[in-house]
Amino acid sequence: MILHVDMDAFYASVEIRDNPELAGKPVVVGGTPEGRGVVAAASYAAREYGVHSAMSAAKAVRLCPHAVFLKPRISYYAEISQQIREIFFRYTPVVEPLSLDEAFLDVDGSERLFGPAIDIARAIKQEIADSLNLVASVGVAPNKFLAKLASDLDKPDGFVVVPPDAIQPFLDPLPVKRIWGVGRVTEKVFDRIGVKSVADLRGLDLDVLQRYFGDHGQHLWKLARGIDDRKVIPDREAKSVSHETTFSEDIRELSQLRARAAELTDQVARRLRRADRKGHTVTVKIRFFDFRTITRSISLPHSTNETATLWEAVREILTSRLPEDRPPVRLLGVGVTGFNETKTAQLQLFETEPASSELDRAADRIRERFGGQSLGRGSSLLHRKDDDHRPGQLPPE
């Protein structure tokens, strides 16, 4: 069985945990309303007013004027994320992080030690609550698609189990928009042809779906039947390390895309360093509002896991390799491939190790020893527009 563990309103929940006087108040983590920043996370009290991640801070304050706006502390959240991951590793080594606040866990090999998957999931959820005073929602299911779907159904503080013999009863009543890949445009097509639920979708023949959606139709056909053969792949075994995020509201501004890409790049770089991996191909994935998806890649001269070097490649792609008439974006991803499997690299004549590499390692060591608050890297990524500020560098005063 597969677990999907998703921390509820992670950034905002951490801030509320550390500042109990914020409990029950609408808390928004991200850019300031006076600037052009975006919302990185919103507490559930803020979400009641329609505030959500990727929304501009200016719109958020219009929806909820009394919200408490806080600057993000990315390095601190990363430290807590590592503490959560350490809890995962107590139960299984097969952990695939998706971002700072969610991960897949394969617990098939752990059941002899810890009992059934449901018991393991409850133990992990309880340990996160007891040791970190944070709330996670957990989905337990036979595959990744179903586990992730289950974790999202009963938030916050959710716990949903999908037994192998109850996949279709679980899926069929759900609205069709719950299927991965069904965005606004796809949902409009389904609405036109009378498809409202997953059961309705499952009633369509494959050739009908392919006629409407091309190759994407087979993807929809499989998911409507709960079919997902992807494995949980730990970082050390992965052929790539990537993070992606789907926005609740399509993003138009390039400055907002850069802000979110900077955060994703920082997360990818940290995962590479934790797994002792280096790659030489940087890829940016963009899915537009109409579900058209493009990828753009840059091959670096040498393999690296340096945050600043990876960000230069990502920024180059965003600046010069996207369509000029770029439509609104619903999904953004950053990934690194082309790993040096020998974990050694040919040295160039007179080459010295870049200072940024030592800076990354020093920053990682400082966080491990003194905690995330000891270093301010990335703390303003989501609310600064300054193109000269790169992850891996402290922001200018």
What DSSP state is assigned to residue 48? Answer: T
248 vs 244: CA distance, rounded Å: 13
- For the question of residue 312 being annotated catalytic, the response is no
Question: What's the 3-state SS for 333-348?
Answer: EEEEEEECCCCCCCCC
Retrieve residue 115's tokens: 């009992």
Domain chopping of the chain, boundaries: 10-74, 180-223, 236-374
Query: Residue 359's pLDDT is what?
Result: 63
Q: At 126, give phi and psi (nearest 5°).
A: -70, -40
Per-residue model confidence (pLDDT) at position 254 = 87
Q: What is the CATH number of domain 180-223?
A: 1.10.150.20
- Rounded Cα distance between 115 and 85, Å, is 20
Alpha helices by DSSP H, listed for the chain, are 10-18, 44-47, 57-63, 74-89, 111-114, 117-132, 144-153, 167-171, 184-192, 198-202, 206-213, 216-223, 254-274, 307-320, 355-370
The amino acid occupying position 231 is K
Helix, strand, coil percentages in the chain from 3-state DSSP, rounded to 5: 45, 20, 35
In this predicted structure, what is the pLDDT of residue 216? 85
Q: Is the peptide bond before 156 cis (omega within 30 degrees of 0)?
A: yes
Q: How many angstroms separate the CA atoms of 276 and 304, rounded? A: 10
Amino acid at the residue 251: I
Contact predicate 249/54, CB 8 Å: yes
**Residue corresponding to tokens 């002792």:** 276
What CATH code would you report for 236-374? 3.30.1490.100
For 164, phi then psi, to 5°, come to -60, -30
Which pLDDT belongs to residue 342?
53
The residue annotated as part of the active site, out of 102, 187, 253, 324, is 102
Give CATH for domain 10-74. 3.40.1170.60
Instruction: Give the per-residue pLDDT at 356.
Output: 56
pTM of the model: 0.72
Residues in the chain: 397
Report yes or no: 3 and 104 within 8 Å, Cβ to Cβ. yes
pLDDT of residue 271: 84
Q: What is the pLDDT along the chain (397 residues), one digit of tens a residue?
A: 999 999 999 999 999 999 999 999 999 998 777 766 788 899 999 999 999 887 888 899 999 999 999 998 888 998 999 999 999 999 999 999 888 899 999 999 999 999 999 999 999 999 999 999 999 999 999 999 999 999 999 999 999 999 999 999 999 999 999 998 787 788 889 999 999 999 999 999 999 999 988 888 999 999 999 999 999 988 777 788 888 887 767 888 888 889 889 888 988 998 889 888 899 999 999 988 877 889 999 999 999 999 999 999 999 999 999 888 888 898 899 999 998 765 444 444 444 455 555 666 565 555 454 444 444 444 334 434 433 333 443 333 2
